[in-house]
Amino acid sequence: MKSLSEIKLAIIGLGYVGLPLAVEFGSKRSVLGFDINQQRIDELRAGHDLTLETHREELLGATQLRFTTHLEELRGCNCFIVTVPTPIDTHKRPDLTPLIKASETVGKALKPDDVVIYESTVYPGCTEEECVPILERFSGLTFNRDFFVGYSPERINPGDKEHRVTTIRKVTSGSTPEIADLIDALYNEIITAGTHKAPTIQVAEAAKVIENTQRDLNIALINELAIIFNKMGIDTEAVLKAAGSKWNFLPFRPGLVGGHCIGVDPYYLTHKAQSIGYHPEIILAGRRLNDSMGVYVVAQLVKAMTKRRLLVDGARILVMGLTFKENCPDLRNTRVVDIVSELHDYHCSVDVFDPWVSLQEAQHEYGITPVTHPEENAYDAIILAVAHQQFREMGVERIRRLGKPGHVLYDLKYLFPAEATDLRL
């Protein structure tokens, strides 16, 4: 492949990362969007995106974008961008299954001079150590002679309507200097914020994985401070606001750390570190603390209920919010489920209310069927777990009406003033 004009592009995986990318490219050049989920493809063809990352007008406006589930159609492309999930398993180890399967699929369609670009979050070295051998095996071609690869980590922020794929600066890299230039030029067709061309694929991989590791550790610090201040009877938000009056204080807030990135990516880095003989301490300490916050929240709630002589065993609890962050339907790795599970261990009856989520997806992923209309005067305690705009607009008085007399209102997200609630993180 010699120039941009020769590129026939395919996007592999049409989720939160792949679809916005396909839509942007599809407004400028011919793009084939590939996914193994036929229902997803049917919905996209009808102009409907369940993730809400793209609007109907954007989907239908990408006139050069078409969708398929058929491998045969991929053989007409010569540049493949892989945007599949990279989760962790139950033992918190990297689960490369989607990445491996996607590489096998692309390998079957690979031809001489083709380029494969990975966007999925991985540990440094994964692209060349894990993905390239699969591409070689399934294509019969030789890396950096017959085909080439690149890595350009996704920087999608679900639910964020200001920071979109085109307005976030993109890191790019390639397996040869010429391919790095070609990949960088390709992304510059759509990325208005510009690109940063990393010197190697491993540098680009490492840059991505530490972005969220850094955020994870910062939030872990604030979570630990919140625990300390709670024990001292000091309002954490008031402390953070006071400290935030200094220009270089970072505005992190305590809370549950879930989602597809922050709660997952550090384990990819620690996995690689352990494989080369180094046991990371600070990163894993931050992960342990953040993963324990659901248990801490329930312990605080139980203590507050006990002080009010509210019987915990059999209590009705309303958890408001299930998604991993506000104002989006994304349920991936949400840590609200830790609160629900811990409450069940206390034999509480738990209702979950979240106007953003798919009831079917919540049931399928977590065995939770959210209520659509919480009862008034029904709950012994209410936990505001996610800062959805709908909850803010409800106002504290309306939310209070859902509780029984003497109920406990726990505001994890500082939605309302301290004096309007009973507990805050």
State the catalytic residues: 261
Six-digit token pair at 223?
A: 């979570």
Residue from 394, 260, 282, 239 nearest 334 by CA: 260
3-state secondary structure of 229: helix
In the block, tokens 């726990």 appear at 410
Report d(CA 424, CA 87) in Å as an integer: 31
Which of 94, 125, 97, 138 has its CA nearest to residue 13?
A: 97
Instruction: Give me the sign of the Cα torsion angle 9, 13, 15, 17.
Output: negative
The phi-psi region of residue 80 (left if phi > 0; otherwise alpha if psi is between -120 and 50; otherwise beta) is beta
Cα torsion through 268, 274, 275, 276, rounded to 10: 120
Q: Is 16 in contact with 156 (CB distance < 8 Å)?
A: yes
Single out the residue of 12, 305, 369, 16 nearest to residue 159, CA to CA.
16
Burial label, 195 (beta-carbon count in 10 A; 0-12, 13-18, 19+): middle
Q: 281 CB contacts (<8 Å, ≥6 apart)?
A: none
**Closest C-alpha among 54, 2, 1, 64 to residue 27:** 64
The token pair that represents 218 in the structure block = 């910062």
Residues 6+ positions from 27 with CB-CB distance below 8 Å: 61, 62, 63, 64, 65
3-class DSSP state for residue 283? helix
* Token pair recorded at residue 96: 């490369």
Residue 289 token pair: 């603390």
Q: Classify residue 161 as exposed, middle or buried by CB count within 10 Å of its CB (0-12, 13-18, 19+).
A: exposed
- Strand residue runs (E) in 244-377: 316-320, 349-353
